[in-house]
Amino acid sequence: MNLSARTHKNLQSALAGALLCGLMASPRARAAAVLNGLTAFTQGVLPFLFPFSCLAQLLACGRRAPLWALRLTGMLGGSPTGARLLAEVGDERAARRSAMMTGGVSPMFFAGTLALWLDSRADGTILLASHLGALALGGLLLPRGQARDIQTPEVSLPQAVAQSALAMLSVGGCIAMGALAAALTGAFLPDVPRALLHAALEMSGGCRAVISLAWPRVPTLCLISAACAFSGAAILFQNAGYWRGVGISVVRLAGYGVIRAALSAALTFVMICICQAMKIAV
């Protein structure tokens, strides 16, 4: 085992031990935090993402597709769809660009979940446009690389449902663990740092925490936009499981997330300013 792998395992063990100690020290409070995360997942995430995931798999199955089409599928499918599709397609440079472009979240999270939480379809649309723009611009910042066309596997409706259900279990589990980590690490922090930390650890619960701060609309949307583009540690580690085989570490994925976050927040701000200048109702 090399040093980096050993260090990774030691850090993982230390983190797990710290979370376990915190959970045992105050089980009711920590269980309440996990329940809040799962409630947000079942009420605001699962109803939108699950059917979208099923239909997206059926749409793309059994086709020979160029790299740009697979990247577009990954962008629209959200994490970890892109990583699962593209981790072994193309050379290292192509893989890095794919990782940058497909490390975001599903459009249904914006059109459904965030539009519901913000009580504004217009704000959800702005966030979605900014997110997709950041994914595309981030990809353009990296070398193109080379890749072959790939035949996507055949998927039946029962298989799509089963695979989507497993993916939703993974998402729900990550949200629960992210909520637990945020509750433990942010227990002694003021509201604003706690919300930012939550967003960095687990994106969906973090977005809800940011909304609960009741900030003015523009900084709230820009911060949510950045959180979604970064995607949070929980999603980064999901994607890293696929990209590690082609030499893309979770640290590199986090760096890509920071770039996407900056681009997405800037695009959100610009779009809001344009809409206000043109007196478009938003």
Residue numbers of the chain with a pLDDT score lower than 70:
1-8, 12, 60-65, 88, 90, 146-153, 280-282
Q: What is the pLDDT of residue 111?
A: 85
Q: Which two tokens stand for residue 163?
A: 């695979």
pLDDT tens digits for range 74-112:
888 777 777 877 776 767 788 888 889 988 888 888 988
Q: What is the pLDDT of residue 264?
A: 97
103: buried, middle or exposed (CB in 10 Å: 19+, 13-18, 0-12)?
buried
In whole angstroms, what is the distance from residue 150 CA to residue 67 CA?
A: 8
Q: What is the pLDDT of residue 159?
A: 85
233: buried, middle or exposed (CB in 10 Å: 19+, 13-18, 0-12)?
buried
Q: What is the pLDDT of residue 64?
A: 66
- The SS3 of residue 150 is strand
17: buried, middle or exposed (CB in 10 Å: 19+, 13-18, 0-12)?
exposed
